[in-house]
Amino acid sequence: MTRARIGAIEYDVVNMTDDAEWVLRDDHGDITLVDADAGVEVRCDRCGRFTTQAIPVGPRWVCADRECYEDER
């Protein structure tokens, strides 16, 4: 599962809603809704780097600001 972090706390990415809210699950299984402006960094499923510029490509999240996006398509 794709990981995300806010500060030093990591979560699993469950979803990104149509209202631009992150749906994240912590390591205890608790679900958190976070506004898109909260600075969520997503770990690229291709290169492993955390970035605020990640986008979904199929079931994976990849860097949109690097070659990861082009390589994944």
pLDDT the model gives residue 33: 96
Q: Which of 28, 31, 56 is nearest to 44 (CA)?
A: 56
What does the DSSP 8-state code read for residue 66? Answer: S
pLDDT digits (tens, 9 = 90+) for 33-45: 999 889 999 999 9
67: Cβ contacts below 8 Å, ≥ 6 apart: none
Tell me: pLDDT of 30 over 90.
yes
CA angle 67, 57, 44 (to 5 degrees): 55
Mean pLDDT of 40-61: 94
Least confident of 48-52, 54-58, 65-69: 65-69
The reported pTM is 0.88
Alpha-carbon distance 8 to 5, whole Å?
A: 7
Nearest to 63 by CA among 29, 55, 16: 55
